[in-house]
Amino acid sequence: MKIENTQVQMRKGILEYCILHIISRGEVYASDMLEELTSAKIMVVEGTLYPLLTRLRKAGLVDYHWVESTSGPPRKYYKLTDKGQQFLDELGNTWQQLVASTNHIISNSHQKKS
């Protein structure tokens, strides 16, 4: 078993949450999302991001609008819908529970080794 495969799966598992969180801060262009995700070491490529954004839009969690650009073609800016904000809030609660549960398990394993 390769550690890299497990690491990739862990990152994929939180990708949707991270994307919704980035969008929740305000309207955002996809390449800016890619840049932030990459700098956070959540390796994402356009081929992963765009289908996920399409799925989130079809689910009614995000919306977008086009903005004319002086330096090229129009840009698509994404924003969170009200439904998306509620979804993100629920994911946030789940994330906090997972972090607490994981920390509990990790701290118990350290105590038993001592």
The pTM score is 0.84
Rounded Cα gap, residues 105 and 68, in angstroms: 50
Rounded Cα gap, residues 103 and 9, in angstroms: 19
The secondary structure element, H or E, covering residue 48 is helix 46-58
Q: Which of 23, 22, 27, 113 is nearest to 67 (CA)?
A: 27
Q: How many CB atoms lie within 10 A of CB 110?
A: 9
Instruction: Show contacts of 46-55: CB within 8 Å, 24+ apart.
Output: 48/15, 49/19, 52/15, 52/16, 52/19, 53/19, 53/78
What pLDDT digit, counting tens, does each position of 51-93 carry?
A: 999 999 999 999 999 999 888 899 999 999 999 999 999 999 9
Mention the CATH class of domain 3-113.
mainly alpha
| pLDDT-derived band at 45, boundaries 50, 70, 90 | confident
Rounded Cα gap, residues 72 and 66, in angstroms: 13
